[in-house]
Each structure stands twice: as structure tokens, then as C-alpha cells.
């Protein structure tokens, strides 16, 4: 058995690390509170213009309350400051969720020493010196043996070893890393379990995977995405509009009071020292404070959900692009199919019984330690009742192991009985060399299996010096369970799926039909992949793909979302804008779903926030001016206790709704694959209508409580 077979491992790494993403832990709130208070610094808050306006209003209201103290003014000031703190708390909680993971990652860097090789060349060991891992530079060569920690990211240039990557991926099963090929990349902080490898460092100081993950989970590397910047501009514009709108209410109120001298100040809310606080309160309730407070937390939480699934995103732009993807390019092997062809049928020739073919197929495969060979042994045992046999049970037998050169495996028994199993042309030629003939029926069977997308392996034997072909083993590239359903979901989302494979067109079409993908690219070369991506992008589509080899690097760099496997080469990881630490090609589908969930969450809460503002407008304005303009009483449907209680209730609701929505912003709105029109309708019904109704109910309930406070 080849040692690289250890690489196949269950999809447990990402799932083991997934946690409940949106439930607020009171201890987390208390831990994040100091960070929220530090964010009150205007030099930090200026990046969020909506909340900066709220803080300026809170400062002004505080000054007015000090100049002319009263219960109503101080209650408003208290809740205005809470609004700013709650907004900062949402971001602090989102950032705080990654700090524990960042701390565990830092431990993998502490006190690691490196055995650097000076003057190393192939065949020459070089001189060894021990230095601290942070002092390594790009291009240095180090040696790592069993039990030692790999000091930095790099490529194996000599040797083969079993490596424990659980510190990075959370997956306890070891993997194989070896020089050459696409499984040569190693990550700093992982541990060599066996053997000895020589690694060439590819990272620059401070730019290792661990460094980038620490920066990512702590939010240090999170840049605002284009959509987020655009939404911030929209929110800032709305804020400016409401500032001018609210500013006009003060002269209107003064003019109206002058024409209604009999209206008491307690009703008109225009007494000196109070009107300024009222104007600030109205402004804070009408500008989109809810989405302004939660926007940053939504983005951080989206990145965090990727980290929970062991995906390292180089930028928030990549996560956002994943939500807008139109075309998915998926490798067949390992993504759509299991990757190892498995025996699915024994097709005997005329005159040969199925049991005879099964017995010969099993015996000739005992020396074949490839996954295909083992599947033949298991298939014969489970479907024909043949007990499991081992080479050691057959005395004086000569075993012929499978090799890429011979393309055959088999056994020579002591009674002159010879058995061979392998590629159709190879076994057919072997039968001819032994003096036998190949019937025409064999060609028809082989062609039929190939046309169906399978791989035919022929079984031949020599008995009493008579050579003959017994039949054909049908190896099938098994499509992973549930893939057709997942592709159906992608189709509902408007995403086109394309299977990429090196198989011939007939085989590719058969697997594509079985899996349910929309299209396929057969006999694909790196140039073909790159051309397909450019063709899709020329049509205005966003493309996502996965890859792990150096030959995938150009396509990964060209794709809008390029997910490189952690087991892949350094070139692939540098070219992509995401790295899957579990090296699970199917993760691309999850990444797209996370991206869409991020966009839907942002859209849903924006809809809720704007609908909130509309509802609060109709709740507050009538209560404020009904004494001056009795006709407004028709709009005062909530019948709030007094203008003061109406203002205070709205301010309190405005602050509390931010806290209430933090879990949703962290967990994300539940995403169900469906068309854009259905998603829009659902968004409007739930968050639009809900955003209008919630303030009426919430403000009325709060008013029933605050009406008993002094000054109400």
C-alpha cells in the first residue's frame, strides 16, 4: 500500500470546530464591555459616521442637561450614551469571539526553534545550526524530524513524513507530506510524527499562516468590502438628510408656539434647554442607527463563520464575492466523486460463471494495494460470499504486485495456475503472449463500460497451459451521496455548476449526468481552465473554483473566489484568495452559502432598520406636535402617555433593539436556497413588515412603564 493513502480522511475537521454562532453569552458581554467603552474614542468611531453623529448628539445633550438639569433630560442622555455603547458592544462581541482562537494559535509560535541547514544541496547534508523560528527568512532550509514542530510555512524538498496538523485544522488524523507533487506544502506550528523531512521556507517574517489567521480572527486584517463601503455612504447620506429635516423642526416649533401662546411648555416640548435634547432624540431615532450599529459586526461575523469552518480568507472582499458567485468550477475527483474508483460489477464472458470470475478477480487483486485493488477484494467478498484471503495463506505462491509500469497485478500458484488483472490492452496482450486468443466480445464489454463512464479491468488466466480471458471488472468513479441535491440547490440560487476533469468526454458526460451538474469541461488543461474562467467573466459573471497544484495557480488567481487547498503547493495558496485548512474540495459550496448568508443578513437588517425608522417617525411626530396641531391626533394611533414619554420610549427602544439584534447579526439570517425574487419577497415580509410593526409594539410597551417615571 502506498503511504499517500493516509491522505484520505473524513470531513470532520471543519465540523468539529463549528460552534453556535449567534447566542449571546452574558460573560462574553461583560468581557467585551471594556473594548466597547474604548471604542467611544472619536478617533475610532469616525469610521462609523452614523454612530459618530449619535455620540456627538449624546455629548451635546449631556451639556444641555448639565446647564438645565431635569429628570427627562438626564434619562434621555443616559439612553443616548447606552445606544453608542451598545453599538460598540456589537462590534466588540464579534471581535471578541476570535480572541480565544487567536490565543491558542499564538501558543503554536511560542519558543519554537529551527534547525537551519547552511550550504544544503541535494545529496549534500550541509551544516546545521539552531536558531529561533521568528529569525527564519524566505528561502532558508530547515530539517525537521519526528517529534519536532515545523518552524515555518514551506515546501518539503526532501523526504516524506507523517504530520499532525491538528493545531491548525482541528483534525486529529495525521497527513502525509512529501517532496514533489501537490502534497509538499507544510504549515508552521504543525508537528512531524515520523521520519525526517527537509523544508524550504516560503514565508516572509510575520506573514505565516498563523500570523495571518491571528490577524484575521482578531479583525486586524478586516478591510471594509465595496458593498459595505457603499452601504456606509448611503447611511451617511440618509443621516445628513435627517439632520437637515430635524433641524427645520425647531424653528417650526418656535413659530407654532408663538402662534399658540396658551400651550404649556410641558406639552409643546419647546422650553429652553429641553428642545435641544428633544431634537437630538428625534434625530437618533430617525437615522438608521440599527444597521449603522450592526454593520461592522455582520462583516466580522461572516469572516468568523469561515474561520469556524477552517477557511482562511485573505480579505472580506473574497467573502462578499462568494455571495455573488454565478459560476462554480468544481474538480471531479474528490469534490463530485469519492476520488477512488471502486468495483461495482463483474461482467463474465460467455462460458464463464460469475462466481469463477469473482474468485479469480479477488485472487489476482490480493497483491494490489491500490484503493481500486482493495475495492475488488471487498466487492467479491460482500457480493459473492468469498471469504477474505491474504497472500500469506497461499503457500509457494508468487505474487505480482501492481505497478504503473506493468499496469497489472496477479499471482502464480504452485500448480501452474496463473492469474492476471489489469488494464484491458495489457491483459489482452498477456493472454496472447501465453498462446491464447481474445474474443471479440471483450471489446464490446470494454467499450460499453467506458462509454458509461467506468473503468474496465480485464481478468485473464492460464490453466493447464491454456490462456483465456475470464471477464471484465467494472470500476466506477462513485458520485458522493447528496451531490445532485446540492447542485439542485445551487441551480435554485441561480448558480451554474461546471465539472472540471481530465477524463475523456464520454466518461465526463456520464459522471456529469449522474451528478447533475450543468456543464463539464473534459480533458481539461491549465490553459483550458483559465480560458473558461475568462469566458465566464467576460459575460459579467463571478467565478469560484478550487485547486491545489501549481498548474492551478493561474486559474486560482484569475477566479473571483479562488480556494486553495492547504495540502497544495505554495504557488496555489499564494494565487488564491482563500485557503481551506481541511483541504476539502466540497467546502467551496459551503463558502458560497456563507457568502450569500452574509449578504442576506446585511440586506435583512438594513430593511429592518429603515422600516424601523419609518415606524418611529409616525410614532413620535404626532405625540410631539399634537398639542400644536390637533389634526395630528389622527396619526397618534398608539395613544402614548405624553410627548415626553413618547420621546423617551422611542430612544429606549432604539437602544434595546440593537442588543436584541446582536445574536442575529452574529449567527446570520438563516439561508434557504431559492430564487432572488423569493428571497426579496421573504426579506420584505419578515424584516420589512416586522420592522414596521415592532416599533409600534415595543414603544407602546415601554411607554406603559416609563409613564410612571418623574417628569413624564
Task: State the greatest distance between any 2 C-alpha atoms of the chain, in Å, as a whole number.
Answer: 124
Q: What is the pTM of this model?
A: 0.64
- Give the pLDDT confidence of 484-511 residue by residue, as tens digits: 888 888 888 788 989 888 777 877 888 8
Residue 453 CA to residue 219 CA, distance in Å, equals 47
405 appears as a binding residue in the annotation: yes
Domain boundary assignment for the chain: 26-96+222-305+597-707, 113-150+153-202, 311-336+480-581, 338-478
- Give the pLDDT confidence of 376-434 residue by residue, as tens digits: 888 888 888 776 666 656 667 888 887 766 778 888 887 788 999 988 888 999 999 98
Q: Which of 57, 45, 49 has its CA nearest to residue 92?
A: 45
Options 153, 155, 331, 582, the catalytic residue: 331
403 appears as a binding residue in the annotation: yes
- Give the pLDDT confidence of 584-639 residue by residue, as tens digits: 777 888 888 888 888 888 888 888 988 888 778 777 777 666 666 677 777 777 77
pLDDT at 2 over 60: no
Residue 187 CA to residue 185 CA, distance in Å, equals 7
pLDDT at 472: 93
- Give the pLDDT confidence of 635-664 residue by residue, as tens digits: 777 777 777 888 888 899 999 999 888 888
The mean per-residue pLDDT over the stretch 110-128 comes to 76
Q: Pick the residue with more confidence: 110 or 12?
A: 110
538 appears as a binding residue in the annotation: no
Say what angle helices 275-286 and 249-258 make with each other, to 10 degrees.
Answer: 140
pLDDT at 208: 64
pLDDT at 24: 54
- Give the pLDDT confidence of 526-540 residue by residue, as tens digits: 888 888 999 988 888
pLDDT at 79 over 90: yes
Q: Pick the residue with more confidence: 684 or 174?
A: 684
Please say whether the dihedral angle defined by the alpha carbons of residues 45, 49, 50 and 55, taken in this order, is positive or negative: positive
Q: Pick the residue with more confidence: 194 or 376?
A: 376
Question: Do you know the residue count of the chain?
Answer: 712
Q: Where are the alpha helices (DSSP H) in 141-208?
A: 166-169
Most confident range, picked from 76-85, 338-347, 615-624: 76-85
Reported confidence tier of residue 552, pLDDT bands at 50, 70, 90:
confident
- Give the pLDDT confidence of 158-169 residue by residue, as tens digits: 888 888 876 665
- CB count within 10 Å of CB 462 equals 19
Contacting residues for 430 by C-beta, under 8 A, at least 6 apart: 408, 420, 422, 460, 467
Q: Which of 197-211, 289-303, 440-454, 457-471 has the lowest mean pLDDT?
A: 197-211
| In contact, 22 and 7? CB cutoff 8 Å | no
Buried b (16+ CB within 10 A) or exposed e, 66-88: eeeebebbbbbbbbbbbbbbbbb
372 appears as a binding residue in the annotation: yes
Reported confidence tier of residue 123, pLDDT bands at 50, 70, 90:
low
282: its cell numbers: 428625534
pLDDT at 269: 47
Residue 539 CA to residue 562 CA, distance in Å, equals 19
Q: Which of 53-67, 151-165, 250-264, 360-374 has the lowest mean pLDDT?
A: 250-264
368 appears as a binding residue in the annotation: yes
pLDDT at 166: 66
pLDDT at 273: 36
Is 331 considered catalytic here? yes
Give the architecture (CATH level 2) of 311-336+480-581.
Answer: 3-Layer(aba) Sandwich (3.40)
The pLDDT mean for the chain works out to 78
pLDDT at 172 over 60: no
pLDDT at 4 over 70: no
Residue 25 CA to residue 34 CA, distance in Å, equals 16
Q: 113-150+153-202 has which CATH code?
A: 2.70.150.10
314 appears as a binding residue in the annotation: no
409 appears as a binding residue in the annotation: yes
Superfamily of domain 338-478: Calcium-transporting ATPase, cytoplasmic domain N (3.40.1110.10)
pLDDT at 458: 92
The 8-class DSSP code of residue 224 comes to P
> DSSP for 88-136?
HHHHHHHHHTTHHHHHHHHHTTTT-EEEEEES-BTTB--EEEEEEGGG-
Q: Which of 186-200, 244-258, 511-525 has the lowest mean pLDDT?
A: 244-258
Residue 436 CA to residue 267 CA, distance in Å, equals 110
Q: Which of 271-285, 507-521, 633-647 has the lowest mean pLDDT?
A: 271-285
Amino acid at each position: 500500500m502506498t503511504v499517500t493513502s493516509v491522505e484520505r480522511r473524513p470531513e470532520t475537521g471543519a465540523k468539529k470546530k463549528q460552534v453556535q454562532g449567534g447566542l449571546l453569552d452574558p460573560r462574553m458581554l461583560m468581557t467585551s464591555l471594556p473594548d466597547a467603552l474604548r471604542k467611544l474614542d472619536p478617533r475610532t468611531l469616525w469610521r462609523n459616521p452614523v454612530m459618530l453623529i449619535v455620540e456627538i448628539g449624546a455629548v451635546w445633550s449631556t451639556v444641555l442637561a448639565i446647564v438645565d438639569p431635569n429628570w427627562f433630560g438626564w434619562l434621555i442622555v443616559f439612553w443616548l450614551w447606552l445606544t453608542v455603547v451598545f453599538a460598540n458592544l456589537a462590534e466588540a462581541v464579534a471581535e471578541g469571539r476570535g480572541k480565544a482562537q487567536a490565543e491558542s494559535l499564538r501558543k503554536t509560535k511560542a519558543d519554537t526553534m529551527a534547525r537551519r541547514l547552511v550550504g544544503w544541496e541535494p545529496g549534500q547534508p550541509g551544516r546545521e545550526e539552531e536558531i529561533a523560528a521568528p529569525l527564519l527568512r524566505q528561502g532558508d532550509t530547515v530539517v525537521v524530524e519526528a517529534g519536532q514542530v515545523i518552524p515555518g510555512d514551506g515546501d518539503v524538498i526532501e523526504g516524506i513524513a507523517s504530520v499532525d496538523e491538528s493545531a491548525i485544522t482541528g483534525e486529529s488524523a495525521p497527513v502525509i507530506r512529501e517532496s514533489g507533487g501537490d502534497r509538499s506544502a507544510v504549515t508552521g506550528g504543525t508537528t512531524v510524527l515520523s521520519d525526517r523531512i527537509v523544508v524550504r521556507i516560503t514565508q516572509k517574517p510575520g506573514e505565516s499562516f498563523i500570523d495571518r489567521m491571528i490577524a484575521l480572527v482578531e479583525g486586524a486584517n478586516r478591510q471594509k468590502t465595496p458593498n459595505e463601503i457603499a452601504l456606509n455612504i448611503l447611511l451617511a447620506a440618509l443621516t445628513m438628510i435627517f439632520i437637515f429635516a430635524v433641524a427645520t423642526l425647531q424653528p417650526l416649533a418656535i413659530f407654532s408656539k408663538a402662534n399658540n401662546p396658551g400651550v404649556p411648555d410641558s406639552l409643546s416640548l419647546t422650553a429652553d434647554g429641553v428642545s435641544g435634547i428633544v431634537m437630538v432624540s428625534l434625530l437618533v431615532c430617525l437615522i438608521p442607527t440599527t444597521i449603522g450599529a450592526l454593520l461592522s459586526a455582520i462583516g466580522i461575523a461572516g469572516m468568523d463563520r469561515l474561520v469556524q469552518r477552517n477557511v482562511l480568507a485573505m480579505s472580506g472582499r473574497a467573502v462578499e464575492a462568494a455571495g455573488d458567485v454565478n459560476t462554480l468550477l468544481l474538480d471531479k475527483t474528490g469534490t463530485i466523486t469519492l476520488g477512488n474508483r471502486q468495483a461495482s460489477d463483474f461482467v463474465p464472458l460467455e462460458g464463464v460463471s460469475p462466481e469463477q470470475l469473482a474468485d479469480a478477480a479477488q485472487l489476482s487483486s490480493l497483491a494490489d494495494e491500490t484503493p481500486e485493488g482493495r475495492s475488488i477484494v471487498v466487492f467479491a467478498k460482500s457480493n459473492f460470499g468469498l471469504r477474505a484471503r491474504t497472500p500469506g495463506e497461499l503457500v509457494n505462491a508468487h505474487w505480482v504486485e501492481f505497478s504503473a509500469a506493468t499496469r497489472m497485478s496477479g499471482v502464480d500458484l504452485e500448480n501452474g495456475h496463473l492469474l492476471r488483472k489489469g488494464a484491458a490492452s495489457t491483459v489482452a496482450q498477456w493472454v496472447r503472449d501465453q498462446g491464447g486468443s481474445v474474443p471479440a466480445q471483450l471489446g464490446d464489454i470494454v467499450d460499453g463500460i467506458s462509454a458509461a463512464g467506468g473503468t474496465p479491468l480485464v481478468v485473464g488466466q492460464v490453466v493447464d497451459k491454456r490462456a483465456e480471458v475470464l471477464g471484465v471488472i467494472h470500476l466506477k468513479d462513485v458520485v458522493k451521496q447528496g451531490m445532485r441535491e446540492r447542485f439542485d440547490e445551487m441551480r435554485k440560487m441561480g448558480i451554474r455548476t461546471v465539472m472540471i476533469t481530465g477524463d475523456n468526454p464520454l466518461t465526463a458526460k456520464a459522471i456529469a449526468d449522474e451528478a447533475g451538474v450543468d456543464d463539464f469541461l473534459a480533458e481539461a488543461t491549465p490553459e483550458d481552465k483559465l480560458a473558461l474562467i475568462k469566458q465566464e467573466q467576460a459575460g459579467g459573471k463571478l467565478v469560484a473554483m478550487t485547486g491545489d497544484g501549481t498548474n492551478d495557480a493561474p486559474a486560482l488567481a484569475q477566479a473571483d473566489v479562488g480556494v486553495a487547498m492547504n495540502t497544495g503547493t505554495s504557488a496555489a495558496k499564494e494565487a488564491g484568495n482563500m485557503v481551506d485548512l481541511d483541504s476539502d474540495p466540497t467546502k467551496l459550496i459551503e463558502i458560497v452559502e456563507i457568502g450569500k448568508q452574509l449578504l442576506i443578513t446585511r440586506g435583512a437588517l438594513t430593511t429592518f432598520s429603515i422600516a424601523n425608522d419609518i415606524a418611529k417617525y409616525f410614532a413620535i411626530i404626532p405625540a410631539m406636535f399634537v398639542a400644536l396641531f390637533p389634526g395630528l391626533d389622527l396619526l397618534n394611533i398608539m395613544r402614548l402617555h405624553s410627548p415626553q414619554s413618547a420621546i423617551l420610549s422611542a430612544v429606549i427602544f432604539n437602544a434595546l433593539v440593537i442588543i436584541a439584534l446582536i445574536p442575529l447579526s452574529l449567527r446570520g439570517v438563516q439561508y434557504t436556497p431559492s430564487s432572488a425574487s423569493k428571497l426579496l419577497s421573504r426579506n420584505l415580509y419578515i424584516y420589512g413588515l416586522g420592522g414596521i410593526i415592532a416599533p409600534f409594539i415595543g414603544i407602546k410597551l415601554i411607554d406603559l412603564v416609563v409613564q410612571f417615571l418623574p417628569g413624564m
